[in-house]
A and B are shown apart, each in its own frame.
Chain A
Amino acid sequence: MNKDVHPIDTYFREALKDHQVEPPGSGREAFLHEAGKLHRAEKKRIIWLWGLSVFVILLSAGILFFFRGHHQPPAGERPSITEPASTKAGKILSTVPVPKETSGTAVHQASGSSVPCQPVHRSTTCAPFVTPSGHDTNAASEEKPAATSEISEISVPASSRSFISPSITIPFNYFPLTKSTLKIISEKVAPEKEEKKVIRRNESGYHAGLYFLPEMMFNTLEKEKFAWNLGAEGSFYFKEFSITTGVGLSLTKGTRELIVKYNDYLGSYSNLDSMSFEWNENHTQVIPTYYMTDKDVWDSLMKLDYPKVIKRYIYLQVPLMLGYDFWKNEKCSFGLRVGPVLSVMIDSKRLSADYDPGKNRIIGINNITPDRINLNWQIAGGINFSYLLDNRWSLDLEPEAKYYFNSVYEKSEISKKPWSVGLKAVIKLNIKK
């Protein structure tokens, strides 16, 4: 694009070509200070992201672990092997691994009678020795024999062991098990141990619990800041829905910056207030008496100091969270929790020592950081993961985020509203079954 070339433009452009103005040194210091703060904030953010990633990975791993642990079908429900066996005993024995500790499996026939087998070691060649009464071998041979490779474990009732010799190899033809008649249940002996305690999640009921929630706040005057929340809560569950409320305390530290105007102390001198003279006849002279007071001297130049006061603030928090569990099984559940939280400041305590001006003369003290607000509202939302420890106790983990509807300061210079992220841990007691 052609621009009109004007002599004034050219003149000024030439005049200020490569012009440089040395900026003040304080600007450089301020920039380096700000860069340092940025660097620290960046580091913190990276640490938090890493922490969050590790947490998500651990949580995912935990969920996977629970799924795998709880979704295996019970041993009694495993499918029976009904394939026919047609191969000879020697072949069977070479292909069937029999663990040392295996006590055996029960072999059932269609009639319901159990066929005893010898518990074997790996090196022992054996086959079940069967003498079923009234067994029709001809009829059995017509049926398709079961595939022996499917046989995994063989159990024998203790009372039947006397029928079996460990050293005798018997052709499998003597063991006429067919597709229709053979049923192998591959469960270990000790049925009483396998009866697991069944924990079931109730459809509805009341829970009472204690929670702990570390929280990190953003968009505050003090940059990132931690708050520690703890309290008690009660929930009512109805199917997938829940409503939770409670009372908690939120503890947070705040740094208030002050601006102190003062005059420097320069020293003191003795000021002569008055003097009197007395005639001493013994010495024939006048003896003076001086009346003096110490006077302090301060510089007339006003100076500024920026002390910081650390305070602890305690807030009372009342949440009202509505929940929906979008997935649940007998022990675990996943759900959403959303609701408002009311925070009321109930106490503030100074943690740092009072500002000591020494002998300097204080002209005035003003706040740079505004006071904390007494009441504010937040909206909180999170993903809840609940795990039933037993029929009465459960543990909840809830990564959550909060958005503050108003600033935590009375006169905030930050136009953006604060927000926070945290991880809530709740231990709950099921009150009503």
Chain B
Amino acid sequence: MREQSLLCKVVKKDPEALKKLYDDYAPKLFSLCMRYMGNRADAEDVLHDGFIKILENLPGFRMGPACNLEGWMKKIMVNTALNNLRQRAKEEKLISFDKAEGKMDVHDEEFSEEDAFPVIPEKEVILEMIGNLPAGYRTVFNLYVFEEYSHREIAVMLGCSEGTSKSQLSKARVMLRHSLTSVFEKEKRY
């Protein structure tokens, strides 16, 4: 109900409502942008573009039991981030999902419950680990783990094969595991 009245005011471009919308949702969405873009500057751009898209599309949004505002905003933000990454890939040829596969010689290792890490480090450290992944790995990992898309859906979204999506995820996991291990080893030493 509270969201509903906020939305009505935002659609009318009430400045106070706009501020409230931004203040309420920007921190969560900025975290999402950081996960996808890997650095603060690019995440800021995506957050800005995403919020403008949200504003433009808000009159068409209908609140309902199956459709919550935060989820809808997250979807827009994810799409904005993916578009941004695609644009970069075109312009700078930074990301090529298939090419990225060959860049690292990592093997899909088997994980067991013993591999579970007892202590969760600082969230910023975790975010940095994801940010350090190659863009292709990072994107697939985010879509699969946080947005809970299937490999088929990811393949459609990214325009790659299901197999590519699976292999990217697997390699992302390996890299993250190595990162975690090195973090814990450092902590043990100190």
Determine if B31 is an interface residue (Cβ-Cβ < 8 Å): yes
Determine if A22 is an interface residue (Cβ-Cβ < 8 Å): yes
Report Cα–Cα, A30/B47, bound state, in Å: 11
In the complex, which residue of chain A has the Cβ closest to the Cβ of B18?
Answer: A35
For the complex formed, measure the closest distance between the CB of B40 and the CB atoms of chain A, giving whole angstroms: 8
Could you list 10 further interchain pairs (A-B, Cβ under 8 angstroms) beyond the known A13-B145, A16-B146, A31-B18?
A: A3-B150, A7-B111, A8-B111, A14-B120, A18-B28, A24-B44, A28-B19, A32-B18, A39-B13, A42-B13
Residues of B near A1 (CB, < 8 A) are: 150
- Identify which of B22, B116, B117 contacts A31 (C-beta below 8 A): B22
**Is A15 a contact partner of B120 (Cβ separation < 8 A)?**
yes
Determine if A90 is an interface residue (Cβ-Cβ < 8 Å): no
Residues of B near A138 (CB, < 8 A) are: none
Residues of B near A273 (CB, < 8 A) are: none
For the complex formed, measure the closest distance between the CB of A210 and the CB atoms of chain B, giving whole angstroms: 42
- Interface hits, B147-168 → A, CB 8 Å: 148, 150
In the complex, which residue of chain B has the Cβ closest to the Cβ of A32?
Answer: B18
Per-residue CB contact flags for chain B residues 66-90 toward chain A (1 = under 8 Å, else 0) read 0000000000000000000000000
**Is A21 a contact partner of B18 (Cβ separation < 8 A)?**
no
Per-residue CB contact flags for chain B residues 109-126 toward chain A (1 = under 8 Å, else 0) read 001110111001101001
Report Cα–Cα, A18/B56, bound state, in Å: 26
**Is B13 a contact partner of A35 (Cβ separation < 8 A)?**
yes
**Is A21 a contact partner of B145 (Cβ separation < 8 A)?**
no
7 contacts between A and B (CB under 8 A): A1-B150, A16-B127, A20-B28, A20-B31, A21-B27, A32-B15, A34-B52
Residues of B near A69 (CB, < 8 A) are: none
**Is A38 a contact partner of B55 (Cβ separation < 8 A)?**
yes
**Is A12 a contact partner of B52 (Cβ separation < 8 A)?**
no
Residues of B near A279 (CB, < 8 A) are: none
Known A-B contacts A13-B146, A16-B146, A36-B13; A7 and B116 likewise in contact (beta carbons under 8 Å): yes
Interface of A with B (CB < 8 Å)?
1, 3, 6-9, 11-16, 18-24, 27-28, 30-32, 34-36, 38-39, 42
Report Cα–Cα, A22/B141, bound state, in Å: 23
For the complex formed, measure the closest distance between the CB of B182 and the CB atoms of chain A, giving whole angstroms: 14
**Is A22 a contact partner of B27 (Cβ separation < 8 A)?**
yes
**Is A23 a contact partner of B56 (Cβ separation < 8 A)?**
no
Report Cα–Cα, A113/B50, bound state, in Å: 91
Residues of A near B121 (CB, < 8 A) are: 15
For the complex formed, measure the closest distance between the CB of A355 and the CB atoms of chain B, giving whole angstroms: 29
Known A-B contacts A20-B28, A28-B26, A35-B55; A12 and B44 likewise in contact (beta carbons under 8 Å): no
Residues of A near B177 (CB, < 8 A) are: 8
- For B, the interface residue count at a CB cutoff of 8 angstroms equals 42
Per-residue CB contact flags for chain B residues 27-52 toward chain A (1 = under 8 Å, else 0) read 11011001100000000100110011
Residues of B near A34 (CB, < 8 A) are: 48, 52
Report Cα–Cα, A39/B145, bound state, in Å: 37
For the complex formed, measure the closest distance between the CB of A49 and the CB atoms of chain B, giving whole angstroms: 15
**Is B123 a contact partner of A38 (Cβ separation < 8 A)?**
no
**Is A12 a contact partner of B27 (Cβ separation < 8 A)?**
no
Known A-B contacts A21-B27, A34-B52; A9 and B18 likewise in contact (beta carbons under 8 Å): no
For the complex formed, measure the closest distance between the CB of B110 and the CB atoms of chain A, giving whole angstroms: 11
Residues of A near B44 (CB, < 8 A) are: 23-24, 27
Known A-B contacts A11-B117, A12-B130, A13-B145; A21 and B30 likewise in contact (beta carbons under 8 Å): yes
Residues of A near B35 (CB, < 8 A) are: 16
**Is A8 a contact partner of B15 (Cβ separation < 8 A)?**
no
**Is A11 a contact partner of B30 (Cβ separation < 8 A)?**
no
Residues of B near A36 (CB, < 8 A) are: 13, 15
Report Cα–Cα, A19/B127, bound state, in Å: 10
**Is B19 a contact partner of A12 (Cβ separation < 8 A)?**
no
**Is B48 a contact partner of A32 (Cβ separation < 8 A)?**
no
Determine if B176 is an interface residue (Cβ-Cβ < 8 Å): yes
3 A-B pairs closest in CB distance: A20-B27, A39-B13, A23-B30
For the complex formed, measure the closest distance between the CB of A201 and the CB atoms of chain B, giving whole angstroms: 48
Residues of B near A22 (CB, < 8 A) are: 27, 30
Report Cα–Cα, A9/B44, bound state, in Å: 26
For the complex formed, measure the closest distance between the CB of A318 and the CB atoms of chain B, giving whole angstroms: 39
Residue among A21, A28, A31, A38 with the highest chain B CB neighbour number at 10 A = A21
Known A-B contacts A9-B173, A21-B30; A27 and B120 likewise in contact (beta carbons under 8 Å): no
In the complex, which residue of chain B has the Cβ closest to the Cβ of A24?
Answer: B44
**Is B148 a contact partner of A23 (Cβ separation < 8 A)?**
no
For the complex formed, measure the closest distance between the CB of A298 and the CB atoms of chain B, giving whole angstroms: 30
Residues of B near A3 (CB, < 8 A) are: 144, 148, 150
